[in-house]
Amino acid sequence: MSRLFKLIHPPPFPNTGSVARDHLANERTFLSWTRTGLGFVALGVALAKLDALEALSPAMKHDHGDLKIPSAALVGSGTGCLSYGTLRYFVTLNLLKKNLFRPNLIGVGLVAVTSAAVAGGGILMVIEQEELVVGK
């Protein structure tokens, strides 16, 4: 039990210079990663539920294709954001203890690529839907 307590209750750091600001900024960054990941997961779950709702009601049926792949991609992206944000938090925490800092180039690049892929996928789905409507 004391080992668990040590994990969730770390020793205090001396507040010299910008130590407190750096750690608080690290926490805010972690919360931002969490918010981004949960946003992707929520959108993926909403797409999956929309697909399930259409299966129940024939009046809502559209020929937009299967939404399982986009919703799974969104949930996977969100889970990746949550995992990376958590890992990044603890890595940065350990670096800050040593008075070091490593810029977050990989994470920013991954979020940019993921966001572009989600936007591109959405645009392709809209174009595909428009072609189906015009073709009828």
Output the pLDDT for position 14: 78
b/e map 17-47, b = 16+ CB within 10 Å: eeeeebbeebeebbeebbebbeebbebbeeb
Q: Is the pLDDT of residue 114 over 90?
A: no
Q: Which two tokens stand for residue 135?
A: 């073709």
Residue 8 and residue 2 in contact, taking contact as beta carbons nearer than 8 Å: no
Q: Under a CB-based contact definition with an 8 Å cutoff, are residues 101 and 95 in contact?
A: yes
Residues 6+ apart with CB under 8 A from 97: 13
pLDDT category of residue 75 using cuts at 50, 70 and 90: very high
Mean pLDDT of 112-131: 85
In this structure, are residues 77 and 33 in contact, taking their beta carbons and an 8 Å threshold? no
Q: Where are the domains of the chain?
A: 18-135
Say what percent of the chain tops pLDDT 70: 87
Task: Annotate 25-84 with DSSP letters as a single string.
Answer: HHHHHHHHHHHHHHHHHHHHHHHHHHHHHHHH-GGG---S---HHHHHHHHHHHHHHHHH
Own/partner contacts of 124-130, CB < 8 Å, gap of 24 or more, are 125/64, 125/65, 125/70, 128/64, 128/65, 129/62, 129/64
What pLDDT is recorded for position 51? Answer: 75
What tokens were used for 38? 């949960």
Mean pLDDT of 115-130: 85
Does pTM top 0.95 for this prediction? no
Please give the average per-residue pLDDT across 105-130, as a whole number: 86
